[in-house]
Structure 1
């Protein structure tokens, strides 16, 4: 006779509800299949749903600032990401900000950084004390990150361009690395 310990079952109800709610939001967007979904296609779809354009901008942001910002205006939305990040990190930052758009989160935490960018003579510490703090560990931030990750799983690539120009000095290295992945031909 074999004896086994019974596993304790724990309820993950709040976490399951969170996941289901986020997955439902992503499904409701009616995104195209993976092979046709890119960041520009995603932003065009969201622009249609929101009734105003979304512009994605890579900018060198001040030291200590967030890696991304969402700025919503009456006429247009802007997603700004730190241009000096690695491309994969840039994409996740953009998708995180897209998560805020999808969830219709408010954008008041960006006010101190915007003040620093556009009115540099004001003390950033004073602006933060007066207007509030960055709440990067809040439920809102977790929700935006999870939504961004869900979309990231569905997305094909950062752009629709599939081939890249390889500088002559890197061709040998790229050819060797490409040999490891037979599904991505290198030119």
Structure 2
């Protein structure tokens, strides 16, 4: 039996699955009426308003934890912690991924009741403990859904084009102007 058709069928099946997952994510955002935002941080505020519970973002040094981001849900609000020692683009992706878990309702509280939680963790709110326990139990399918939702969320962020930070020589100015006209940018000024 030839393995090539089997691999091709698997790629096609996976492609159909990802397309369906993307449509589901778009439907979730459509129901929330989440509009385009200037950045991921503004989008998180919008998601919080639409859900009637604030989403608080905090840059934290997570380098020693093995994770880049973390969602902690309390009774009244959501906290998204993201790695402070990485690029802004990576931070936006981390925030998008954690927001995706929120939007896809991936938070599971485990089987502990409030009384059991109070006995084990007397100084913590049961909802916080439940949230942290649930965060450790994501399924691979939930992680995949969160990544797809994160990519959909990132399409809602209006990125400003990078500005030219270098002088263009007279020889290169016309070529750069043609390239930038194709991508909708103003050409940098030719240096004297």
TM-score bracket, normalised by the shorter chain, equals 0.5 to 0.7
Q: Does the 8 Å CA contact 2:39/2:157 hold for their aligned counterparts?
A: yes
Q: Does the 8 Å CA contact 2:100/2:146 hold for their aligned counterparts?
A: yes
Query: Which of residues 23, 37, 46 is equivalent to 1:20?
Result: 23
Rounded to whole Å, the distance in 2 between the matches of 1:55 and 1:149 is 21
Q: Which runs of structure 2 are paired with 1:20-169 in the superposition (5 Å)?
A: 20-33=23-36, 36-106=37-107, 138-157=140-159
**Structure 1 length normalisation: TM-score?**
0.61
Rounded to whole Å, the distance in 2 between the matches of 1:38 and 1:58 is 15
1:176 is aligned to 166
**Structure with the larger helix share:** 2
SS of the counterpart of 1:56? strand
Q: Does the 8 Å CA contact 1:71/1:79 hold for their aligned counterparts?
A: yes
Q: Does the 8 Å CA contact 1:70/1:107 hold for their aligned counterparts?
A: no
Unaligned runs of 5+ in 2: 1-7, 111-132
Against the structure 1 CA distance between its residues 14 and 69, is the aligned structure 2 distance closer, same or farther, given a 3 Å change threshold?
same
- Greater CA radius of gyration, 1 or 2? 2
Rounded to whole Å, the distance in 2 between the matches of 1:150 and 1:58 is 22
Q: CA deviation at 1:76?
A: 1.4
Q: CA deviation at 1:140?
A: 0.5
Rounded to whole Å, the distance in 1 between the matches of 2:56 and 2:17 is 34
**Structure 2 length normalisation: TM-score?**
0.60
Matched length: 144
Unaligned runs of 5+ in 1: 1-7, 110-130, 165-173
Rounded to whole Å, the distance in 1 between the matches of 2:158 and 2:73 is 26
More displaced 10-residue stretch of structure 1: 144-153 or 36-45:
36-45
Q: CA deviation at 1:39?
A: 2.2
SS of the counterpart of 1:40? helix
Rounded to whole Å, the distance in 1 between the matches of 2:105 and 2:146 is 10
For the aligned residue pairs, the C-alpha RMSD in angstroms reads: 3.7
Rounded to whole Å, the distance in 1 between the matches of 2:134 and 2:162 is 45
